[in-house]
Structure 1
Amino acid sequence: MQVGGDTWKDVDTALDTLERNGLERSADTRQAGLVREIVEAMQASSKAISFDDVRDLIENIRFRLASIHAMSDLNIGRYDCDYFDPNTGLEPRIGTTDPSRRSEYWAFLHPHDVWDAEWVQTSVGQPSDAIAPRAGAIFPFRGECAGAFQLTVYWGLLNGLGAARFDEMASVFGTMYVGPWRLGNRPNPATLFMQPASLEDPPIPGDYLYFKNKDDYLRWAPDGFWTGLNSMYMGKDMLGTRHYAGMGASWLSETNLRMSLVNAYYHDCYPHTIAHPNVEVRFTERRLLTIPKEYEMPDHAQRSGAQAGKAPSIRTLEESGYVSLGGGILEHATTTVGEVADLFEVDPGDLRQVVSAEIGNAPTRLDIEGTVVVLHYADPEVSRQDPAASVAVHVHKIDED
């Protein structure tokens, strides 16, 4: 770990220096242990983690600690957050209990779609007001784990650094989203504070990790919520075991996290099974929580209005290169977003991110006349709405001719 050009090698010396420069040494043994582990993991990184000065490091630690506390709070009920599920009548909502299902600070990206747990910030109030963890702004929140992780990033910045600092940053990164990792070529601002990192290095408390279920989960359960978990590394317990949390999964070891996702697979994808759970259910992506010195954001992206579209017959799909897997499921191994849009008579802008999608290569879906279409992208960097993007596609719940 580099601080102001100097290499910090000794943990105790580093902790003393942090305390002398304003980082309070907590009497809470849990928090004190987190700070120590943060420093140790940064020092152990194979790629040097650098800070301009001690103040930058302290700011990063406060950001991490506040994000960890936020993730804990949303899992224990202190923050009123839970999953939506239209199958059980629980529709997505943010910041209100009234029929609008949204507070004045947020608007639905697809207001008439009950499978849409995606919101965009309105122009009402300050950014710190819109993201404040309180009733009338964010709570009650009924979404999914991608949006929940984004909220913990925003709350980590707000609670860790203060409202004035948050509003200063928001004046640069602009309009906030909750739910989508990006719209077109515009990333969710939360991702600016999540830097790609190696899975081979020890995780640092507060890090983002995606724990992915078996790759074919969405093939058999397109409406399922457990294609993976957008999780946070919460630190080690007293025995040295690493623990993780995401919305609906609190303080779990890797073993118990894997067990939870395997159980979800068996429930949602029956009669299909997982032959090698230790290999097939695994971490696939890691991001460091970081505070960049500068960043550029493309112009605010807008999605097109929802279009009805039309579900083609099985015969038409087969004539277009789709292969039946039985049970009303068809697949096409290699097509494009544009070809899918033309076939289903929609605009590429109507594609939306699947529930619980990973940050790096989020699949998308369409819902048309009782048919669900799931798209998996060959290139993780391409816009999800790029007509030329190469995709593999599964089509579900088609009625026979």
Structure 2
Amino acid sequence: MLQHPAKPLRPNGLSTRRLGRLFALRDADVASLLVPLSAADDSLSRLDERLQTSPIHAGWIARTDFAEACAALWAEGSLVHLEDLVLHDANMDIRSPSHELTRAHAYLRLRRKAWNGDPKTLLSPVGLLGFIGRGRHQAGNTERNSEGDTAVKGVLESGVEMVGDTLFSAAIAKLKSATEAASGALERISSSPSEAPRDTFVYDEDWNEAGRLAEWCACLTEAERYPPVLGALALTLAWQATEPIQRQAWLAPLLAALYLRRRRRAKAHLISLHLGLRALRPKPGSAKTSVEQLQQALAIVEAAAREGLAQHDRLMLARQVLERKCKGRRENSKMPQLAVLLLNTPLVTAPMIAQELKISQQAAQNLIAELGTGLREITGRRRYRAWAIG
């Protein structure tokens, strides 16, 4: 179901004509899937139920997004350090970002976009194109810009009428024409975001994206007949088999997470399938038939849920330790804010603490020293140090 560092796990012999019959399984095959399906569904439900009432829900989501982005690049055979990704996301890189780091950050942004968006909208053809940055989801921004331009033009026009000075009026007129020209250029760019020329060496000119997208969206209706987890896996296999949007097969785990939210099986989180794959580490090519691939995919779902539960337990223990450190502090102490930052971020640095808490770097170093054993230094360096909890 997911890409493995050594070999991509794709269904054998799955063609576009068979997508509608993806789960036309025999009774013996269904019986062999009941136990792993029950285990995966149970683990996923327990994780989601715990997160719905958890006081560290936001911190768990933020940390999981970073870890999943690193695991997604691991699944493709690339190594991205969590420390580099966190610093790159905070615009505090200590070195030039690599191509792998840029891709991991793009995946991180897509996960955040998926979490903040509406699953029903994002799983539509128009929503999918907007999800990857090829749609016209900037309509709200365009409208706001046009409203701002109208207001500016009104002020400029009123200024021209009120001011009698000829030179000043001419300057206002030039500024008005420049504003109109810039607005027209932005309008032309936003009206055709997907018409940029493509390199034929990389992209296939005969790739029928509209037809493939329509066929995959028809699978959404077909998947409604199955339990949510099986339906999500069906859509994942279908996306990886047909690749409706060219060179976007890696979106399949994100779409599975969106579908589980749409079916309200995972309301409080996005499932992290790459973390489950890294925890399970199946042997490449071990799943040869469709049934074996489904069993392996269900095991990955269960491993991802168990990994999420373990991470939640670790964060709850760290929260208790930080709460003890915050007791007896003054009202204007920055220690409670630092505790929240530590829970919401996989690691912190002194400049990051200074920027978020609006204090000096020396004050940030003093706060870190006060926490003592509540933090652990993870770099082993004397400069560009970073700390983490849990």
Range into which the TM-score falls when normalised by the shorter chain:
under 0.3
Greater RCO between the two (CA within 8 Å, min separation 6)?
2
Higher strand share: 1
Higher helix share: 2
- With the length of structure 2 as denominator, give the TM-score of the two structures: 0.25
